[in-house]
Amino acid sequence: HSGEAWWTRAVVYQVYPRSFMDSNGDGIGDLGGILQRLDHLADLGVDVLWLSPVYPSPQADNGYDISDYQDIDPLFGSLAQLDELIAALHARGMKLLMDLVVNHTSDAHPWFVESRSSKDSPKRDWYWWRPPRPGMAAGDPGAEPTNWQSFFSGPVWQLDEASGEYYLHLFDRRQPDLNWENPQVRHAVYEMMRWWLDRGVDGFRMDVINMISKDVAPDGSLRDGPPLPGSSLGSGFGSFLCGPRIHEFLQEMHREVFAGRNGAFLTVGEMPGVTVEQARLFTDPARAEVDMVFQFEHVGLDHGTSKWDVHPLRMRDLKASFGRWQAGLADVGWNSLYWDNHDQPRAVSRFGDDSPEFRRDSATCLATLLHLHRGTPYVYQGQELGMANYPFRSLEEFADVESLNHSVQAVSAGAHADEVLAALRTMSRDNARTPVQWDASPHAGFTTGTPWLAVNPDHVEWNADAQRTDPSSVLAHYRRLHALRHELPVVAMGDFGMLLAEHEHVYAFTRSLDGVTLLVVCNLSRTPYGLATLLPEAIGADLVLGNLPDAGDELRPWEARVLRL
d(CA 283, CA 271): 12
Binding part of the chain for Ca ion, among 20-28, 304-312, 338-346, 472-480 by CB under 5 A, reads 20-28
Whole-angstrom CA distances from 503 to 12, 151, 231, 507 are: 31, 35, 38, 7
CB of 207 to ligand TEU, least distance (A): 5
Give the binding-site size for Ca ion (rule: CB under 5 A): 5
Catalytic member of 270, 302, 353, 400: 270
CB of 182 to Ca ion, least distance (A): 37
Concatenate the DSSP letters of all residues of 210-276 into one string: GGS-----TTS-----PBPTTSS-B--HHHHSS-TTHHHHHHHHIIIIITT--S--EEEEE-TT--H
CB of 73 to Ca ion, least distance (A): 11
The backbone torsions φ and ψ at residue 104, rounded to the nearest 5 degrees and listed phi first, read -145, 165
Query: Per residue, what are the HEC states of 61-93?
Result: CCCCCCCCCCCCCCCCCCHHHHHHHHHHHHHCC
Cβ 149 vs Cβ 156: under 8 Å: yes
- CA trace torsion 330, 335, 339, 343 (10° rounding): -140
Cβ 484 vs Cβ 491: under 8 Å: yes
156 binds ligand TEU (CB under 6 A): no
CB of 174 to ligand TEU, least distance (A): 11
Looking at beta carbons only, is 155 or 494 nearer to ligand TEU? Answer: 155
From ligand TEU, Ca ion, none, which one binds at residue 258 (CB under 5 to 8 Å depending on kind)?
Answer: none
d(CA 97, CA 167): 31
Whole-angstrom CA distances from 463 to 344, 435, 469, 510, 557 are: 20, 11, 12, 33, 24
30 binds Ca ion (CB under 5 A): yes
From ligand TEU, Ca ion, none, which one binds at residue 272 (CB under 5 to 8 Å depending on kind)?
Answer: ligand TEU
**How many CB atoms within 10 Å of residue 68?**
16
Looking at beta carbons only, is 404 or 521 nearer to ligand TEU? Answer: 404
CB of 180 to ligand TEU, least distance (A): 15
Residues numbered 468 to 507 that lie near ligand TEU (CB under 6 A) are: none
85 binds ligand TEU (CB under 6 A): no
205 binds ligand TEU (CB under 6 A): no
24 binds Ca ion (CB under 5 A): yes
Q: Which of 7, 40, 10 is nearest to 482 (CA)?
A: 10
Start-to-end CA distance of the chain, whole Å, equals: 28
436 binds Ca ion (CB under 5 A): no
Single-letter residue type at 404: L
154 binds ligand TEU (CB under 6 A): no
d(CA 558, CA 524): 5
Provide the b/e sequence for 475-507 (b: ≥16 CB within 10 Å).
bbbbbbbbebbeebebbbbbebbbbbeebebbb
d(CA 89, CA 95): 6
Concatenate the DSSP letters of all residues of 400-437 into one string: -HHHHHHHHHHHHTT--HHHHHHHHHHH-THHHHSPP-
Looking at beta carbons only, is 177 or 353 nearer to ligand TEU? Answer: 177
Single-letter residue type at 172: D
CB of 400 to ligand TEU, least distance (A): 8
d(CA 348, CA 210): 29
Among 58, 238, 272, 285, binds ligand TEU (CB under 6 A): 272
Q: Which of 157, 27, 60 is nearest to 451 (CA)?
A: 27
Residues numbered 16 to 75 that lie near ligand TEU (CB under 6 A) are: 61, 64
Is 161 in the active site?
no
Is 114 in the active site?
no
From ligand TEU, Ca ion, none, which one binds at residue 22 (CB under 5 to 8 Å depending on kind)?
Answer: Ca ion
From Ca ion, ligand TEU, none, which one binds at residue 353 (CB under 5 to 8 Å depending on kind)?
Answer: none
343 binds ligand TEU (CB under 6 A): yes
CB of 401 to ligand TEU, least distance (A): 7
CB of 322 to Ca ion, least distance (A): 38
From Ca ion, ligand TEU, none, which one binds at residue 64 (CB under 5 to 8 Å depending on kind)?
Answer: ligand TEU
291 binds ligand TEU (CB under 6 A): no
The residues that bridge with 178 in the sheet, in sequence order, are 127
Among 7, 22, 438, 480, binds Ca ion (CB under 5 A): 22
Binding part of the chain for Ca ion, among 17-25, 191-199, 200-208, 467-475 by CB under 5 A, reads 17-25
Binding part of the chain for Ca ion, among 16-24, 102-110, 272-280, 454-462 by CB under 5 A, reads 16-24
177 binds ligand TEU (CB under 6 A): no
237 binds ligand TEU (CB under 6 A): no
402 binds ligand TEU (CB under 6 A): yes
CB of 28 to Ca ion, least distance (A): 4
Residues that bind Ca ion (CB under 5 A): 22, 24, 26, 28, 30
- Residues annotated as part of the active site: 207, 270
Residues that bind ligand TEU (CB under 6 A): 61, 64, 101, 151, 171, 207-208, 270, 272, 307, 342-343, 402
